[in-house]
Amino acid sequence: MADEDGSFVDFEQIDFLRDRHVKFFQRCLQVLPERYSSLETSRLTIVFFALSGLDVLDALDVVNKPSLTEWIYSLQVLPTDDQSNLGRCGFRGSSHIGVPYSTKGPGCPHPFDSAHVAMTYTGLASLIILGDDLSRVNKQACLAGLKALQLEDGSFYAVPEGSENDMRFVYCAACICYMLNDWTGMDVKKAIDYIRRSMSYDNGIGQGAGLESHGGSTFCAIAALCLMGKLEEVFPKRELDRIRRWCIMRQQNGFHGRPNKPVDTCYSFWVGATLELLDVFRYTNFEKNRNYILSTQDRLVGGFAKWPDSHPDPLHAYFGICGLSLIGESNLRRVHPALNISDRALEHMQQLHRTWRDTLHCSSAICLKTS
């Protein structure tokens, strides 16, 4: 196949190997070697990458949905009999604490068992992707657990025992409220204030006030505001234009996360999705972006890496695929740029929300009738 100037284009190097990636995610869901031990406490996020990845690839048929659903529910931290642990409820990242396997309540009292905000987020998202109706999720407990994590400055801890606090967890919190369709889980005003204060002099957004602006935290901030429906309320047009400029300058061929840093496949999503939310993604160079992402594709093993000729991992595999989805790569489902799940999964979530609303109306109508 010849290109414009007549030279032979090595087509093999730039094609998307869909089936390899399906197999890559399938393998992730099975067994990982011990060198992945640092991922133990966040195994649920790996499940999310694999499931959402397969969803975008339209290959969810290869997974055993019922057994995956059970395993995810076994990670829910439910209220104990005396409800004394409500501030610790949500989802765990894995069974690493040693609580006995259980997919239903009441919760088992344990001095150190508590949820992690990123696991509650990815747990709920994974259930939605699997088509679950969230009927076994104790939503009030999740929201109580979330409330317990918010600090005075508006940001969030990851766990009630304390941890670092930054924009990542603000985003996770926003996703949780959005999926549960309930914003009582956070003080939105304080969260918005934290976001505003995290904007840097260079118009990108850092992990917190004063910190260097970064593609990841910029995504977290903008996506959180979009989920809250507050983007234009918080940033007037002049500021949005400045943020657009900072983001669009991240494209080098692929994207990097900070000025003068090397590009990395995952920023094709973090920055790409932010640009999409700001309605200027279409002004980026799709071809250079695509070529970079595909240069990091592992042709043997499947998946994507941050750089060419590097080892693939579930995170970069997932965000590489999402990056391609943003540019409209054929045979990939579209990804909702704020919630980071496929349009199909989003549709299921919206249907669930309609059902919840209707159930609420029915029950209040009954109350009116009988009163």
Residues 226-285 that bind another protein (CB under 8 A): 242, 245, 248-249, 251-253, 258-261, 280, 282-285
Phi, psi of 263 (to 5 degrees): -70, 160
Residue choice 133, 164, 232, 343 for contact with another protein (CB under 8 A): 164
Of residues 93-112, those binding another protein (CB under 8 A): 94-101, 103, 110-112
The DSSP symbol for 105 reads S
User: 150 vs 284, which CB is nearer to another protein?
Assistant: 284
H or E element in which residue 339 lies:
none
User: 330 vs 363, which CB is nearer to another protein?
Assistant: 330
Q: Is 85 in the site for another protein (CB under 8 A)?
A: no
| Range in contact with another protein (rule: CB under 8 A) among 133-141, 162-170, 171-179, 341-349 | 162-170
Distance CA 52, CA 122 (A): 10
Distance CA 336, CA 67 (A): 26
The distance of closest approach from Cβ of residue 365 to another protein in the complex, given in angstroms and rounded to an integer, is 41
Site string for another protein, 119-148 (x = CB under 8 A): ------------------------------
Is residue 317 within 8 A of residue 26, CB to CB? The reply is no
Q: Is 36 in the site for another protein (CB under 8 A)?
A: yes
Neighbour count for residue 297 (Cβ, 10 Å): 27
Site string for another protein, 176-215 (x = CB under 8 A): ------------------------xxxx--xxx-xxxxx-
Is residue 268 within 8 A of residue 222, CB to CB? The reply is no
Burial of residue 288 (CB within 10 Å: 0-12, 13-18, 19+) is: middle
The distance of closest approach from Cβ of residue 37 to another protein in the complex, given in angstroms and rounded to an integer, is 5
The distance of closest approach from Cβ of residue 349 to another protein in the complex, given in angstroms and rounded to an integer, is 22
Q: Is 369 in the site for another protein (CB under 8 A)?
A: no
**Residue 68 token pair:** 């995956």
Name 199's bridge partners.
205
| Range in contact with another protein (rule: CB under 8 A) among 60-68, 129-137, 169-177, 222-230 | 60-68
Q: Which long-range contacts (CB under 8 A, 24 or more apart) does 106-110 make?
A: 106/78, 106/79, 106/80, 106/81, 107/77, 107/78, 107/79, 107/80, 108/80, 109/80, 109/84, 109/85
- Helices assigned H by DSSP within 229-342: 231-234, 237-248, 267-277, 286-295, 314-326
Residue choice 68, 305, 322, 339 for contact with another protein (CB under 8 A): 68
Distance CA 187, CA 202 (A): 28
Is residue 191 within 8 A of residue 245, CB to CB? The reply is no
Q: Is 70 in the site for another protein (CB under 8 A)?
A: yes
Which region, left, alpha or beta, applies to residue 222 given φ > 0 means left and ψ of -120 to 50 means alpha? alpha
| Range in contact with another protein (rule: CB under 8 A) among 42-50, 128-136, 185-193, 342-350 | 42-50
Q: Is 155 in the site for another protein (CB under 8 A)?
A: no
Q: Which residue has the tokens 């901030």?
A: 221
Residues touching another protein, count (CB under 8 A): 81
Residue choice 20, 23, 26, 41 for contact with another protein (CB under 8 A): 41
Q: Is 43 in the site for another protein (CB under 8 A)?
A: yes
User: 25 vs 178, which CB is nearer to another protein?
Assistant: 25
Site string for another protein, 14-33 (x = CB under 8 A): xxx-----------xxxxxx
Q: Is 316 in the site for another protein (CB under 8 A)?
A: no
197-215 burial: b if 16+ Cβ within 10 Å, else e: ebbbeebbbbbbeeeebbb
Is residue 66 within 8 A of residue 120, CB to CB? The reply is no
H or E element in which residue 213 lies:
none
The distance of closest approach from Cβ of residue 260 to another protein in the complex, given in angstroms and rounded to an integer, is 4
